Amino acid sequence: MTKSLEIYSDQLLAFTIPARDARGRIVRLDGVVDEILSAHDYPPAMTHLLAEALVLATLLGGLMKDEAGQLTMQAQTEAGVVKLLVCDYRAGELRGYVDFNDDRLAELGANPSLAALFGKGYLAITFDLPGENGRYQGIVPLEGETLAAACEAYFMQSEQVPTLIRVGARHDSNGCIAGGILVQHLPDGEEGRERLHARLDRPEWEHISILAGSTRYDELVDRELSLEALVWRLFHEEDEVRVLPGAPLRRGCRCSVAHYNDVIGRFPEADRFEMRDDDGTIKVDCAFCSKIFLIDA
């Protein structure tokens, strides 16, 4: 293990295992997830769902090399209990929101399954990258028992990259805490080569996926266990594991009066007139931070 670190929460840790053609990301969200959740009075099932989604958005967003890039993860149904779940990540800034039907959720009991929450839903993962890379998106059905399983399916179907993801979340007297680990098989290490060469039957991937799959959920949410120590527990028998700290994480709602003035200013005057209240202002409600902005029409 190189580069001794002591990262416990609210910062991403990247690692690579060169001899096994593997790379990974690991994260634990503590104060930042509580700050995001505090924008709305979510019931326990939605708190757990959104916390896991924020972990996944961080793990996937942490794969981008360019800090100007943005990862958006959106889960949606036409007739499910959850109407919309959306999270995005950009350069350490994280935000998320879930819209759901209160009455239908109450009918499901304390621990509803993913299928019960979404029905026949889908997961869309979008990478917005600067320059020539542009934007690309993959869409997969919301199948399996967890959002993490849907993300694994995305990587196999859209990018042909074998991927293992484990996510956990819990509530205690100190609030909500959530963590996760993502490990991928990329021949030639971090850069990879043609994705079709990344086969599930490679012995290197079989070995690493077994080790990573042994991660316990209580380890992911243990505030007293550093992320480096957890990586060491999993892969200490490997000849070399390289670790690199990522950006510190923070709530990143980018709403402001100036931003909404710019957005609304692009609408035709007739449309802006229809948006106005009786007092001549336009009220914009930001779902991410639960604030209302008054825009002079």
Kindly report the CATH number assigned to the domain that includes residue 101.
3.55.30.10
Q: How confident is the model at residue 5 (pLDDT cuts 50, 70, 90)?
A: low
Question: Same domain, yes or no, for 211 and 103?
Answer: yes
**Is residue 6 in some structural domain?**
no
Same domain, 215 and 229: yes
Poorest-confidence range of 145-154, 166-175, 207-216, 279-288?
A: 279-288
User: The pTM is what?
Assistant: 0.88
Residues 228 and 140 in one domain: yes
> Which pLDDT value is given to residue 193?
43
- Asked whether residue 193 is assigned to any structural domain, the reply reads yes
Residue range of the domain that includes 268: 257-296
Q: Are residues 280 and 134 in the same domain?
A: no
Residue 1 lies in a domain: no
Q: Based on the fold, state whether residues 111 and 243 are members of the same structural domain.
A: yes
Mean pLDDT score of the chain, rounded to an integer? 87
Mean pLDDT score, 12-29: 95
Do residues 205 and 130 both lie within one domain?
yes
- Per-position DSSP letters for the chain, written without gaps between them: --S-----SSEEEEEEEGGGTEEEEEEEESHHHHHHHTTS---HHHHHHHHHHHHHHHHHHTT-S-TT-EEEEEEE-SSSSEEEEEEEEETTEEEEEEEE-HHHHHTT-SS--HHHHHSS-EEEEEEE-SGGG-EEEEEEE--SSSHHHHHHHHIIIII---EEEEEEEEEETTEEEEEEEEEEE-TTTTT---GGG--TT-HHHHHHHHHHHT--HHHHT-TTS-HHHHHHHHHTTSS--EEEEEEEPEE-----HHHHHHHHTTS-HHHHHHH--TTSEEEEEETTTTEEEEEE-
Instruction: Give the pLDDT band of residue 197 (cuts 50, 70, 90).
Output: very low
In this prediction, residue 194 carries a pLDDT of 43
